[in-house]
Amino acid sequence: MAIFIDTSTRLLVQGLTGREGGFHAFRNRDYGTNLVAGVTPGKGGTDVSGVPVFDTVSEAVAATGANTVMTFVPPPFAADAVLEAAASDGIDLIVCITEGIPAQDEARMFNYIKQTSDVALLGPNCPGVISPGKASVGIMPHEITLEGRVGVVSRSGTLTYQAVHELTTRDIGQSTCVGIGGDPVPGTSFVDCLERFQADDETEAIVLIGEIGGDAEEQAAVFISETVTKPVVAYIAGFTAPPGKKMGHAGAIISGSSGTAIAKQEALEAVGVTVVTYPTQIGEAVAALL
């Protein structure tokens, strides 16, 4: 099995006619994802390499049965694009790749979706999701993945790739790899993904990659102690980050004594999670647990 996406995924891309949107959309299609539509206002009635383009998400869903949206829209307009997708009947998942969306817009997106629908939102500022052997929605390099039974969830895109590489080089396959994004207001939390992995019969172990800033990892630790019965390996980035300085992601900043790497490590270790010191140790730690 898999979480979020599988062979039934029917992908619609907001921004398919743009350079980046088109490039990654067709990489997803080449991997095997069913790419059914694009949406670019003003370009309805055209197509890109045989994929029809519509003016609105609702038109595209009605014509193609799309159930998943990937958003490649510039930051000033991305929130409205996501809200349009969330308001369209038939959409189950939105993957927002766009980086640089204002935090107030992100909060507006988050609140609207949580209050009005059951649509899952990955991102903003995320690499997407891949279920090896089934489907890919986002910008993850599928070449390093291997179909298997370990779930991966991460705030960092590049650390997701390294974790997957460390697993694959040891012939440890992945059920689904999820990048939730590193912005202050992500649409999906560690807890959301842990709950899905716990319920997935074909996920046997979980890799969690966190970083400084916020308390998402501490919340994950509480959820793991109460609900998760599967082995978890974690890595926390940012042990040497100076307080008060943003490190890479908008949400990766230590404020006073809150959000430090050591606090996150201690919280996870206290509930039985194996926390590694370096990302290169992830594969070895998972292999030992399995």
- Annotated catalytic residues are 249
Query: What is the token pair recorded at 105?
Result: 């817009």
For residue 179, the surrounding DSSP H or E stretch is strand 174-179
User: In the chain, where does DSSP find H-type helix?
Assistant: 19-31, 57-64, 75-86, 103-116, 157-168, 190-199, 216-226, 261-270, 282-289
**Among 134, 269, 149, which Cα is nearest to 202's?**
149
Q: Read off the tokens for 141.
A: 């390099």
Residue 81: phi and psi, rounded to 5, are -65, -45
Cα–Cα distance list, 274 to 1, 107, 201 (Å): 25, 33, 22
Q: CA-CA-CA-CA torsion for 118, 112, 100, 76, nearest 10 degrees?
A: 120
Only one residue has tokens 């140790």, namely 281
- What count of Cα atoms within 13 Å lies in the side-chain half-sphere of residue 227? 14
